Amino acid sequence: MMRRTTALLLRHAVGGIPQALADVLVCPLSKKPLRYCEVSGSLVSDAGRMSFPIADGIPCLLPKDGKLLEDHPRESGYETSSRDSSD
């Protein structure tokens, strides 16, 4: 039974993250839903203007791991500016 459940969860993976997990993840800062960006392979918070990386299928959702998005991320693909890591 465990194999079947795992196979079902992984069937519709988003960037290496099972779709069931991606559906419940929220931005750690704004608490708003995240969307997957295929260009960067990261999770993006449009409300918080942040991008969070995915490392080996594991979303890195610590605020210090986020990168600030530039003004028009959807129009220009994926652009980020480095965030001060002294938080």
**Other residues' Cβ atoms within 10 Å of the Cβ of residue 52:** 23
pLDDT in tens, 22-63: 889 999 999 999 999 989 899 999 998 999 999 988 899 999
Q: Are strands 42-45 and 67-69 parallel, antiparallel or unpaired?
A: unpaired
3-state secondary structure of 35: strand
The pLDDT of residue 4 is: 58
Q: What is the pTM of this model?
A: 0.66
| Beta carbons of 49 and 62 less than 8 angstroms apart | no
Q: Which residue is associated with the tokens 């994926």?
A: 78
User: Element (H or E) spanning 10, and its range?
Assistant: helix 2-11
For the chain, list the domains and their CATH numbers: 19-81 (2.20.25.10)
**pLDDT band per the 50, 70, 90 thresholds, residue 80:** very low
Residue type, 21: L
| Beta carbons of 71 and 57 less than 8 angstroms apart | no
**pLDDT band per the 50, 70, 90 thresholds, residue 11:** low
Instruction: Pick the more confident residue, 8 or 16.
Output: 16
